[in-house]
Amino acid sequence: MRISVWFAALCLLGGSPLRADDGPMVLDLRVEGLRRLSDAWVLSRIRTRAGEPLDSARVRADIERLAATGAVRRGRFAREEAPGGIVLVCILEEHPWVRSLRVETSTRALRRSLDRKLKHSREGFLSEADLAADVAALRAEAVHRRYLGVEVEVDRRGEEGWVDVVFRVSTGGRRRVTRIVMEGELPPEARRLRKFAGVQTRPHAPFVSGRFDPDVWEEDIRRMQAYLRREGWLDAAVETLSVEPYGERGLVPRLRVSRGTRYRVGHLEVA
């Protein structure tokens, strides 16, 4: 997260910059500029104390510590002269508060899968690092589902101190399955395996209208393996080798089928 911190030295209100060797006595501490945070929250996170001489290095560390919490966007200290010392004023600007988050895309099914990927951003103080992590996660999910030309934009709207975040995901269409390739030790029943991924014959399959759904495809892989084992190939295994692009908009899934040994019932005893 990139943190912007005001620290144009420790400045005097209406006066000259404080020198590092001044060290006047801090008579009181005051916090200004808060919206959601409390004075107690701020004072518990700084080391500068009333009743102690002013330490410029400690003040600088206090500003950096507050900024590192993710709640403070900018901060600075200023001082007011008082008899016998100074009153130190901590002036802060908070990050805006995230009021709502949502994903917008033209495809309802894609939006549902993308909603599940919003794991970093949440209601609370806005974090640029969390936004960037969610943008990367949304783009990766859309690419995983074989969408082309994926773009993710973040739109922020709100009043002062509040923000509504919208992730707008645009795509350039989706790749379609051109063919399915099976490799390995194919049993005689291999042809029947295609019914678990047939575009026309299996409405639950990932290739309805030629479109690929990774979640349903994994379920169909399990169906293929279960079918082979019901046929006596108890050691059979089916795995996805790759799902490769083909041409500009095509897709070719490659499977490896390991059949192992086929078992038959030789003798049956009933006790």
Instruction: Take residue 95 and report the two structure tokens written for it.
Output: 């990050």
- Report pLDDT for 104: 92
Helix segments in 70-127, DSSP class H: 108-115
Cα radius of gyration rounded to whole Å, the chain: 31
Give tens-digit pLDDT for 183-209. 888 877 777 776 665 433 333 445 444
> pLDDT tier at 122 (50, 70, 90 boundaries)?
confident
> pLDDT tier at 110 (50, 70, 90 boundaries)?
confident
* Most distant CA atoms of the chain, gap in Å: 104
- Report pLDDT for 158: 83
The dihedrals phi and psi of 61, each to the nearest 5 degrees, come to -65, -35
Q: Measured between alpha carbons, how far is 143 from 137 in angstroms, rounded to an integer?
A: 10
The reply to whether the predicted model has a pTM over 0.75 is no
Give tens-digit pLDDT for 51-72. 999 998 999 999 899 988 889 8
- Percent of the chain's residues with pLDDT above 90: 27
- Report pLDDT for 25: 93
Give tens-digit pLDDT for 137-183. 999 988 888 888 899 999 998 877 888 999 999 988 778 888 788 88
- Report pLDDT for 198: 45
Distance from CA of residue 250 to its chain's centroid?
Answer: 29
Helix segments in 183-257, DSSP class H: 190-193, 214-230
Give tens-digit pLDDT for 17-54. 444 445 799 999 999 999 889 999 999 999 999 999 99
Taking the CA atoms of residue 222, residue 227, residue 229 and residue 232 in that order, the dihedral angle to the nearest 10 degrees is -170
